[in-house]
Chain A
Amino acid sequence: MGTFEELYQQHGQAVFRFAMSVVGRRETAEDLTSEAFLALYRNLDRIDQTQLPGWLLTVVRNRARDLWRRQVVEQRYADSVTDPPTVEPAAMESWILENPDLKPIHRACLMLRYVYGMTRAEIASHTALSETQVKGHLQYALSLLRKAYEGRGRT
């Protein structure tokens, strides 16, 4: 049986990372992590600690679900989501998806910047990276893009 602090040290990072993957915002991820550990604190005598960290992740998921459920705009999302494009992907789309030299984070930064038109600050807030890191990822991806399209022509 671990003490509350031991359990926090053991599982805090995993719970926070999971919360980040769910909500993508550092402040909200911290709120969800706090909520999960508060729930653990209150139930410490009652839960089977072998269920950790799954139990904590479930609390995070429930709280995130609450956040979405409370928004009256939710039904409008369902109406606004369009079907994925069905025509053949453009050559650049295939290049972004299939280039083995791009890591997933390069790919995501490239998409957000050049397809969805986000600023570096907006990308940083979605990824919890610094703007400098975002800039670095973009520079790397652009260097590959430049190389690929120099070889193939630009139109």
Chain B
Amino acid sequence: MKTPTDGWDADERDALDGLEPVLDDLQARHAGDPPIELLRAARAGVLPEDVQRRVSQQLDESAWNRALVDGFNDDPPGLTADEQSRLLRRIQQEAARDARPEPRRRLWLWQPAFAAAAVVVIAASVWILRGRETAPVSQDDPEAQVAVNTPEVAPPVLPLDKPAIKISAAALTFRGANDNQLLADLKPAFDAIRGDEYRAAVGEFTRLATQYPASVEVAFYDGIARLFLDDPNGALASLARAEQIGDSSFAPDIVWYQAVALERAGRRDEARTRLRALCEQKAARSAEACSLEPKLTQ
């Protein structure tokens, strides 16, 4: 069994005693997993296209990898009041430098910060490519290290609005040990959605996903909450699960929100395909899909 370099403490030795073969098996199963940095970047949709596609596919297919990312994104830490003030001062100082006629100065000032970020990326590559020959990373162009894109100011074409909370027939007729436990368990998550507490909603739905894997409500509204958290790739993974459940009463809504998520993930061609499919149906969003599809140009 792989032992961390800081070793096991007494509590761990006691708890893991006899479980070595099970852990060996688990470690072997996940030896080829992408590192957490890569999974997070894929969830945010910031990887180069070909890598993004493969790692996103891995996230779609691996509940294990999704759970890993969800664990960290469940409640990301914020800034303390001191840190927030310090960061504001830093931004204001930088903005003040901007106002001076020293156009290259700012680029050099940012180099250490981005070099540090590059180290994170390189560390991730070393982690996954351990034992392989690695190519040198080009860091000889300080201006490239701080290349600044023009922000995408144009708002998305497809509006993101909150759908009404609805319950499938399967959920209404769900019977567990304590009558309809599913509806009771969904309530906190739905309350969070209604109150625009999307992070709390994702936390609830993540918890419910393992308990109710066949609930279209869990997968669909998790996707909606992630869209409102500006996590289109996470939303797409959840909506794909909702689609697989195959509840016809949710089908048109799933297609609509997939289109919304695809546009926000920069996959406009695929968004248009979804809209065309919806346009050909007689569903609540069909007319809107027909009118907006031509506007989704690359």
Q: B-contacting residues of A (Cβ < 8 Å)?
A: 5, 8-9, 12-13, 16-18, 20-28, 30-31, 33-35, 37-39, 41-43, 46-48, 51, 54-55, 57-59, 61-78, 80-85, 89-93, 96-100, 103-109, 111-122, 126-129, 138-139, 142-143, 145-146, 149, 154-155
Contact A58–B152 (Cβ < 8 Å): yes
Contact of B74 among A73, A75, A76, A103 (CB under 8 A): A103
Contact A21–B98 (Cβ < 8 Å): no
Residue of A nearest to B14 (CB): A146
Contact of B84 among A12, A68, A100, A138 (CB under 8 A): A12
Known: A72-B138, A84-B64. A38 touches B91 (CB 8 A): yes
Known: A17-B76, A108-B72, A127-B72. A76 touches B134 (CB 8 A): yes
Report A-chain residues with C-beta under 8 Å of the C-beta of B17: 154
Distance in angstroms between the alpha carbons of A54 and B156 in the assembled complex:
10
Q: Across the A-B interface, how many residue pairs have beta carbons closer than 8 Å?
A: 288
Can you list 23 A-B pairs, Cβ within 8 angstroms, ordered by A? A21-B43, A21-B73, A23-B37, A34-B91, A39-B151, A58-B152, A62-B149, A67-B114, A72-B135, A73-B121, A73-B129, A78-B51, A84-B58, A85-B30, A97-B64, A97-B67, A105-B72, A108-B67, A111-B67, A111-B68, A127-B77, A146-B14, A146-B15
Report A-chain residues with C-beta under 8 Å of the C-beta of B32: 80-82
Chain B binding surface SS class: helix
Contact A71–B147 (Cβ < 8 Å): no
Contact A20–B38 (Cβ < 8 Å): no
Min distance, Cβ B149 to any Cβ of chain A, angstroms = 4
Min distance, Cβ A40 to any Cβ of chain B, angstroms = 9
Residue of B nearest to A34 (CB): B91
Contact B151–A104 (Cβ < 8 Å): no
Tell me if B169 counts as interface (CB < 8 A to partner A). Answer: no
Q: Mask for B89-112, Cβ within 8 A of A = 1, else 0? A: 011001100100000000000100
Distance in angstroms between the alpha carbons of A9 and B75 in the assembled complex:
20
Min distance, Cβ A84 to any Cβ of chain B, angstroms = 4
Tell me if B45 counts as interface (CB < 8 A to partner A). Answer: yes
Q: A-contacting residues of B (Cβ < 8 Å)?
A: 2-6, 11-12, 14-19, 21-23, 25-27, 29-30, 32-34, 36-38, 40-41, 43-48, 50-51, 54-55, 58, 61-65, 67-68, 70-79, 83-84, 87-88, 90-91, 94-95, 98, 110, 113-114, 116-118, 120-122, 125, 128-129, 132, 134-138, 144-145, 147-149, 151-153, 155, 203, 206-207, 210-211, 229-231
Contact A84–B62 (Cβ < 8 Å): yes
Contact of A117 among B3, B68, B72 (CB under 8 A): B3
Distance in angstroms between the alpha carbons of A40 and B95 in the assembled complex:
10
Residue of B nearest to A131 (CB): B6
Report B-chain residues with C-beta under 8 Å of the C-beta of A127: 72, 77
Contact A117–B98 (Cβ < 8 Å): no
